[in-house]
Structure 1
């Protein structure tokens, strides 16, 4: 089993179809797609007169602040993206189905009631948590049943809370949780760069402990991708990969290990 995460940068640039086209020609079997779409959420927020707000954790990880209005916009944008990907896959002859973690509550997350953030003066502050969730459970049997029916799940990163809330969850870390749950052999995160770049060079292969050290040095956006790769491998995925989705044959390149690989040892 392979879990494929299509980054929001590829969606906003309109090049995500390269990944989907190559799925057909590569002959890859048994895969699940998870998508992002942060740029599209921000674009829709601005169109609706709401400026996006981002917060930074003490660890330096930047995230979208999700109040109730932002959650509704997030839900709209993600469902729209999921529908587009599903429709395109079906046009290629696949049988894809767009779902989110709310469907059958197959992704359960705990709402973050409070957030510790770093303010503009570098001080720690505690703020209301909004509608962001920390994934606690993934029902792998739900996904397995869909796959056994010949369907390809296209998953939007939205989860069910334990009190009936709809929650925004990070797409990269959501993909890692899904990959671990279904015991995938690979997690492939497609983005708009060739991998983790340090000193102008793409890092080819990182063992877990090396990846944790590099995590301290990478910038916003890549930090969550690398963290997701670490979490996936820590929880049983054989290999995680961050690679470009902008090449002519991104799936084949990824299956050949082109990009930054994270492995246990």
Structure 2
């Protein structure tokens, strides 16, 4: 009996300690970019869905933006459609963008919607084309020819970047008991479908919604120092210094620069989280230690563990 009571008391203590964090996010919008290997793991997907439902029940307004690169690649392979890459980016022709839209706005989106609904939530799936949520323009990348030293524009086809966000449809959804699940598809100037990177889409949406947090679920724990230890929090100035001294390198540089841009445009903080950690979203928002690397404009008066 004593063991049972001890377990109950421990659970009550956890819930009690979560209260101030739940109050902090009450009626606030949190954009969550869901992607990486966590999407392919059934148990992690279930944990993620439960987290999102709990956020909504706790008074938070979660907005889920998802990726789907592996699923797109798998279907293109099954259809024997070969992809061309330029500068590390997939060239998206007319045939490929049809597959991208079918996978992102179709199968992947509805799988996430179903998972949230199975956990007692009321999710609704949309994409950036709905109600002109995400107007986009063709993405331009410039490369310099090593032989002629002439700069050229790469033609990436139907790859886009945000041009104008009209968040009315999201505002309507989150004011109800519904949870929006958004596929990163935009509508171009001529009504064409444009494929947008999910991180970029989520960042633009977070700014437009004036969200309190942008959570980027990835396949890494966060930003690591030179000893390989997780950096739990940093300011944008510290992040810039870590880029300059080489601590942040490679593919993490554009991700951090994007985080800094989002914060400069009004989002309170961005967090890079390992989506393979069970209940990572709840750990980040409702516990003192968080679950990844938090990036914000300036240090709070108290340390992260005591926020």
- Match of 2:24? none
Q: Does 1:236 align with 2:288?
A: no
Cα deviation digits, residues 139-182 of structure 1 (max 9, x gap): 12221111123211100000011111110111011111111111
Given that 2:45 and 2:115 are in contact with CA atoms closer than 8 Å, whether structure 1 keeps it comes out as no
CA distance in 2, matches of 1:16, 1:223: 28
Q: Is the 8 A contact 1:12 1:40 kept in 2?
A: no
Query: In the alignment, what sits opposite 1:59?
Result: none
The whole-number CA distance in structure 1 between the counterparts of 2:36 and 2:45 is 9
The alignment status of 1:176 with 2:207, answered yes or no, reads no
| Equivalent residue, structure 1, for 2:21 | none
Q: Which moved more, 1:166-175 or 1:145-154?
A: 145-154
| 2:32 pairs with 1:4 | yes
Residue 209 of structure 1 deviates from its aligned partner by 3.2
Task: Find the aligned partners of 2:99 and 2:242 in 1 and give their Cα distance.
Answer: 34
Segments of 5+ residues of structure 1 without an aligned counterpart are 57-61
Residues 65 and 198 of structure 1: is their aligned pair in 2 closer, same or farther, counting only changes over 3 Å? Answer: farther
Which of 261, 274, 284 is residue 254 of structure 1 equivalent to? Answer: 284
Which structure has the larger Rg over C-alpha atoms? 2
Question: Which consecutive segments of 4 or more residues in structure 1 shift more than 6 A?
Answer: 118-121
Q: CA deviation at 1:120?
A: 9.5
Which region of structure 1 is more displaced relative to structure 2, 100-109 or 71-80? 71-80
Q: Residue 133 of structure 2 aligns with which residue?
A: 106
Q: Secondary structure at the match of 2:177?
A: coil
Q: Which residue of 1 aligns with 2:170?
A: 143
Distance 2:181 2:189 in 1: 23
What is the CA-CA distance between 1:21 and the residue it aligns to?
2.0
- The answer to whether the 8 Å contact 2:86/2:154 transfers is no
Other structure's SS at 1:201 match: coil
The residue aligned with 2:238 is 210
Moved more, 143-152 or 13-22: 13-22
Q: What TM-score, normalized to structure 2? A: 0.76
Instruction: Go from structure 1 to structure 2 and tell me whether the alpha carbon gap of 1:6 and 1:105 turns closer, same or farther (over 3 Å shift).
Output: same
Q: How much has 1:223 moved relative to structure 2?
A: 4.5
Rate the CA distance shift 1:45–1:21 in 2: closer, same or farther, 3 A: same
Q: How far apart, CA to CA, are the structure 2 residues paired with 1:86 and 1:16?
A: 11
Segments of structure 2 that go 5 or more residues without pairing to the other structure are 1-28, 299-307
Aligned match for 1:63, one of 64, 77, 89: 89
